[in-house]
Structure 1
């Protein structure tokens, strides 16, 4: 994922630049609409573009792999609803203070909040582990609003032009943010060792990860978050921002901390926890990702925040 456009061919630069202009144009236009209507408008736009971009096909292919008995009517619904949720999440991030204010009003449920508060009283490091579900940045904004400052790990986008302003918006939710890679991991580890909280989105295919079941099929998953939790005695707490039926508000769910054992067992528990949430809210997980790609050994950089 190039950091510098000069490393790209002329054709690649032109493609990425044109794509960035198109996306910025769509985002800029939708941002002119009041927040109440802006969020569903962006969801509608992305859901209508999904068949053209290939997202609808990827949703369908992923569902066929792991839930092959799903009725066709439900598959068709998810092919629209999943991109709709993704579009809402993008424009929410770009909505800045309006999104943060709404996210901070969300109720928090589950035993994980007490576990987080206890860890903070003990100056114990915390890893908040989540997935591309609902709008994971809503949980980060909510907890920061409650006084739990935290860092976040993110994966650089392939499009360097779009990545520049996307990362800026990620940082506007809260600081610090760490780019996935050697330098970012070193910074994040120092932050964690000092008793910090970090948020990691751990459900993307990661080269060098372990092939572990997710929805009954092998999915390459990073075990680095679990390794960090063990090494620095960090509480590892699953957290999810569930989009409510009105499409605008959220409920933050924080589960029991993942019990410390070994990296493989802990990561299996993380996958199982996320799977339960997804099965309860099938339209809120990003089925647009290539989650079940084949295993390919490579150096592992950890998880992701976006």
Structure 2
């Protein structure tokens, strides 16, 4: 979890302030370029910058780790696809209307759309499970454009200066927004109790989660989405924004609702659902994540950080 801004050292504040000035200047300068050129340009730029940061090595290491059937993939090509998609997503989040127009025009396919509409008609809350794949904000914008007002749980950026305008940018795709943490979870629960819709990202290493196989290797995965769905009777529906061949448009894929059972079984189903779509569009998932970090018990992790366990 990113540190609270009040806990940062003076040097960290200086470092974050400087990097934020650079990024803000870059994003503002990019707005001078027409959207259809700006998005791929940012993709190429992030690809080059990512190499300097060693992200290509992270992709290569993750690819070595997972299922044998992916061993024939070219890690250099996968890195280019992953970083290009990441750069395009950054440009899109800050683009405003041009991005919203394309997202809202995206076709919505799959049985999950019917499940969403039936849940809304019944006044039942909905949890949309998504991932760092394609551009997850495109799915939110597309569904908001269809009249499905929804909130989203997000993770605060480590850079407090960048986080401020980043949150304002993603708010343009729909509100309310719930920051990951105790306060945000309380607000999310209240939203679900009122029968609301919320999107939640499920593919990050989650301290306190369960070891669930992802691409043949155990990955620490949060069971909280499934627990919330069971507790509040919410429909748990996987949703993804699949980037199309032209690099600018999307298809919103809503897969079948995960049947209610128990948190572990439901979380395994979500993980398998994500793996299936990543296998179809391998370069659209964020392989730069440290998704397969070792499992550390909550109490031990808290002692290592000097904090008390919750």
Question: TM-score by structure 2 length?
Answer: 0.93
Aligned partners of 2:64, 2:148: CA distance in 1, in Å? Answer: 40
Cα deviation, residue 149, structure 1: 0.2
Structure 2 counterpart of 1:214? 214
- Which moves more between the two structures, 257-266 or 9-18? 9-18
Offset of 1:185 from its aligned partner?
0.2
Measured in 2, the distance between the counterparts of 1:63 and 1:280 equals: 15
For residues 69 and 129 of structure 2, what CA distance do their matches in structure 1 show?
30
Which consecutive unaligned segments of at least 5 residues does structure 1 have?
301-306
CA distance in 2, matches of 1:277, 1:144: 23
Alpha-carbon deviation of 1:56?
Answer: 1.0
Measured after TM superposition, the shift of residue 297 of structure 1 is 2.7
Structure 1 contact 2–159 (Cα < 8 Å) conserved: no
- Aligned partner of 1:120 in structure 2 is 120
Contact 1:126 1:197 in 2 (8 A): yes
Q: Which runs of 4+ in 1 moved over 6 A?
A: none
**Shift in Å at residue 69 of structure 1?**
5.5
Match for residue 174 of structure 2?
174
Asked whether the 8 Å contact 1:2–1:160 carries over to 2, the reply is no
| 1:40 to 2:44 alignment | no
Q: 1:11 to 1:34 in 2, by over 3 A?
A: same
User: What is the Cα deviation at residue 68 of structure 1?
Assistant: 5.0
Bigger mean CA deviation after superposition, 65-74 or 230-239 = 65-74
Distance 1:251 1:69 in 2: 27
Cα distance, 1:12 vs structure 2: 1.2
Alignment-derived partner of residue 308 in structure 2:
none
Write the distance in 1 (CA, Å) between the matches of 2:96 and 2:218. Answer: 37
Q: In the alignment, is the contact (CA less than 8 A) between 2:92 and 2:99 conserved in 1?
A: yes
User: CA distance change for structure 1 residues 65 and 73 in 2, over 3 Å: closer, same or farther?
Assistant: closer
Partner residue in 1 for 2:246: 246
Q: CA RMSD in A?
A: 1.5
Q: Given that residues 50 and 80 in structure 1 are in contact (C-alpha distance below 8 angstroms), is that contact kept between their aligned partners in structure 2?
A: no
CA shift, 1:72, in A, is 6.3
Is the CA contact 1:211–1:220 (under 8 Å) kept in the aligned structure 2? yes
What is the CA deviation profile of residues 36-82 of structure 1, one whole-angstrom value per residue up to 9, with x for unaligned ones? 11100000100111110121111111111114564666221111110
Q: Does 1:78 align with 2:85?
A: no
Query: 3-state SS of the aligned residue for 2:153?
Result: strand
Q: Pairwise mapping of residues 262-277 of structure 1 onto structure 2 (< 5 A)? A: 262-277=262-277
Q: Deviations over 1:86-137 (max 9, x none)?
A: 0101110000121111100000111110110000000000000011000000
| Gap change, CA 1:27 and 1:199, over 3 Å in 2 | same
TM-score by length of 1: 0.95
Q: Distance in 2 between matches of 1:71 and 1:203?
A: 22
Kept after mapping to 1: 8 A contact 2:130/2:239: yes
SS in 2 for 1:246: coil
> 2:3: which partner in 1?
2
Contact kept, 8 Å, 1:237 with 1:258, in 2: the verdict is yes
Q: Structure 2: which 5+ residue stretches go unaligned?
A: 302-310
Q: Aligned pair 1:12/2:12, yes or no?
A: yes
Q: Which residue of 2 aligns with 1:153?
A: 153
Distance in 2, matches of 1:262 and 1:24, equals: 44
